[in-house]
Amino acid sequence: MKIFTTKQALQQYLAQIKAAGKTIGFVPTMGALHLGHLSLIEQAQQQNDVIVCSIFVNPSQFNDPKDLEKYPRTIEADTRLLEQVNCDVLFNPEVNEMYDGNEHWHLNMGELERLLEGKFRPGHYQGVTQIVYKLFNIVNPDTAYFGQKDYQQFAVISKMVELMQLPVKLVMCAIKREDDGLAMSSRNIHLTADDRLHALILSKTLYWVKENFSSHQIASLQSEAASLISAEPGVELEYFEIADGSTLHPANESTKSAVALVAAKVGKTRLIDNIILS
Ligand code: AMP
């Protein structure tokens, strides 16, 4: 695997790949890699000649400095994993390679950045689009792969690609879960043994809502789900919303594609999860 830490060296290398007519699949991550990330790489490998994975803990998307500081960084283990799965290229820049400390970014995404995650993490999606835009410019991939795990992020990035007419195809990959249902996440490392048990209420409730979706009213499912999660010890619910899968506005009985999304603090760790209902 080739490892690059500078934009220039990566771009020079990728120019040769492009010149040879090869396609590039791109998987941006913040590292602390798990099987969820690897499933994105696997899907990218099936559809492209060369795979670039980036590992960059992006400061501009953290609205809480403590969260940024505490974010797991496991670059050596990550590099080994990427080598094991035959990833072709790792881009692992320092912060000053990506930001010159004197720049302004604002993308008008409308409501999309104020709903759900946007309400609880103001500015988060400005930071996400800022870094993904930079990475897309550097890597210039044919296709970029993102997880359904961050459902709203996928919607936000799709919006950016549309607004800025970027020549990249986006693919959403299914959520990888532990055997007991917990969605894999780099943040799971912070869960205590007790937290880990309590965290199961999130996926259990999502599955329960999916099972009952066709036979119950949305409002009653939503309030029952919120009560189930709030009743779990050590779990502080931020939102449980059944939303329209494309706009992320609250769903109603005529919504064609609905998704249930949840965010909660489990102990000190904030987790998100979702399930596609229809
Ligand atoms: P992160 O490193 O958390 O920024 O995630 C990098 C990419 O991996 C994002 O597109 C995530 O949506 C995706 N991802 C994270 N967790 C999972 C998971 N459990 N299953 C599938 N994709 C995931």
Residues with CB under 6 A from ligand 1: 29-30, 36-37, 39-40, 146-147, 149-150, 173, 175-176, 183-186
**Percentage above 90 pLDDT, the chain:** 99
Architecture in CATH for domain 191-270? 2-Layer Sandwich (3.30)
Write the pLDDT tens digit of every residue in 6-23: 999 999 999 999 999 999
* Residue 101 pLDDT: 85
Q: Which atom of ligand 1 is nearest to the CA of 39?
A: 21
Rounded distance between C-alpha atoms, residue 100 and residue 28, angstroms:
20
| 1-19: burial string, b at 16+ Cβ within 10 Å, e else | eeebeebeebeebbeebee
Q: Where are the domains of the chain?
A: 2-173, 191-270
pLDDT tens column, 123-150: 999 999 999 999 999 999 999 999 999 9
Work out which ligand 1 atom sits closest to the CA atom of 187.
3
Closest CA to 120 of 155, 163, 152, 154: 152
191-270 matches 2-173 in CATH topology: no
CA–CA distance, 247 with 142 (Å, rounded to integer): 25
Q: What is the 3-state secondary structure (H, E, C) of 115-154?
A: CCHHHHCCCHHHHHHHHHHHHHHHHCCCEEEEEHHHHHHH
**Closest approach atom of ligand 1 to CA 147:** 12
Determine the residue of 37, 60, 182 to mutate for testing ligand 1's pocket, defined as the one with the most ligand atoms within 8 A of the Cβ atom.
37
Catalytic residues: 37
pTM across the whole model: 0.98
Q: How confident is the model at residue 24 (pLDDT cuts 50, 70, 90)?
A: very high
Residue 78 has pLDDT above 90, yes or no: yes
Per the document, the length of the chain is 278
Mean pLDDT of the 228-243 span = 98
What integer is the mean pLDDT of 67-87? 98
Span 232-243, average pLDDT: 98
| DSSP string computed for 46-99 | HH-SEEEEEE---GGG-S-HHHHHHS---HHHHHHHHHHTT-SEEE---HHHH-
Tokens found for residue 47: 């559809």
Give the model's pLDDT for residue 102: 86
Ligand 1: distance of its center to the CA of 146 in Å?
7
Q: If DSSP codes are grouped into helix, strand and coil, which group holds residue 201?
A: helix
Q: What pLDDT shows up at residue 220?
A: 97
| 2-173 maps to CATH 3.30.70.1170 | no
Looking up tokens 């931020």 gives 238
The pLDDT of residue 12: 98
Write the pLDDT tens digit of every residue in 163-199.
999 999 999 999 999 999 999 999 999 999 999 999 9
